[in-house]
Amino acid sequence: MAFFPTPPANLKLADGTTLAYHRSPGARPGVLFLGGFTSDMTGVKAATLERWCRGRGQAFVRFDYSGHGASSGRFADGTIGRWAEEASAVLDHLTEGPQILVGSSMGAWMMLLTALARPERIAGLLGLACAADFTRYLLWDRLDDRLRERLRRERVISLPSPYGEPYIIAMNLVEEAEQHQLLDRPELPIHGPVRLIHGMGDLDVPWRISVEVAAKLASPDVRVILIKDGEHTLSREQDLLLLTRTLGELLEGR
């Protein structure tokens, strides 16, 4: 029998944006997956988590930010604040009760911002290759003077990406992100259990970002898990096994 993927449902926001999502019913706490910059909800980590949660009867939601995947909007119009508001909207409208947020790369920044905005809804956090504040050290700081001037002038430029489609970099993204920087703050008032997994071979986001985030969290229940030969995507079989095992420990309160 041929397998046909189920089309996503859509959440319509007040501004007319539609966010595509997949939701599986199940036990609480639920699991909400937050993807990375230019990624969508069809990636291997999101799919692995969905299968794993279905297998144990755990509620699960994955979605696309505006300008990503099957959601509406132009990628170049996206900002950190807008995508964080969308993550909170998904939490508000598509989940019930306590949730464990799993954030990958930029999604881990979204995860932290969502936990700060909705502390009463958060049962735990699990970050992968946490890219908090990445608009500084991955985008702006890596541009030479010529590209910075071009970005200021043109407002939107494209750069090569090792992951396929070129990165579309908007000046508005870089500027607006300054309102949501976390590493400048003396403390992040997040009090539940947090696990941060990072590859020491990550060529995009330094593993020390996860250590820096961990040091700023108010919670005493924080662990940083370093994978010596792990790279940025953390999509190998052994990485996915570590992901689901760590999530299982969070769900079981260990």
pLDDT in tens, 162-221: 777 788 899 999 999 999 999 999 999 999 999 999 999 999 999 999 999 999 999 999
pLDDT in tens, 22-55: 999 999 999 999 999 999 999 999 999 999 999 9
99-104 vs 122-128, strand pairing mode: parallel
Is 232 part of the annotated catalytic residue set? Answer: yes
b (16+ CB within 10 A) / e for 165-201: eebbbbbebbebbeebebeeeeebebebbbbbbbbee
Q: Which fold has domain 9-132+184-247?
A: Rossmann fold (3.40.50)
Give the Cα separation of 150 and 128 in Å (integer): 32
Phi-psi region of 57 (alpha: psi -120 to 50; beta: other; left: phi over 0): left
Ranges of each domain in the chain? 9-132+184-247
The one catalytic residue in 39, 71, 133, 202 is: 202
Is 219 part of the annotated catalytic residue set? Answer: no
pTM of the model: 0.95
Is 105 part of the annotated catalytic residue set? Answer: yes
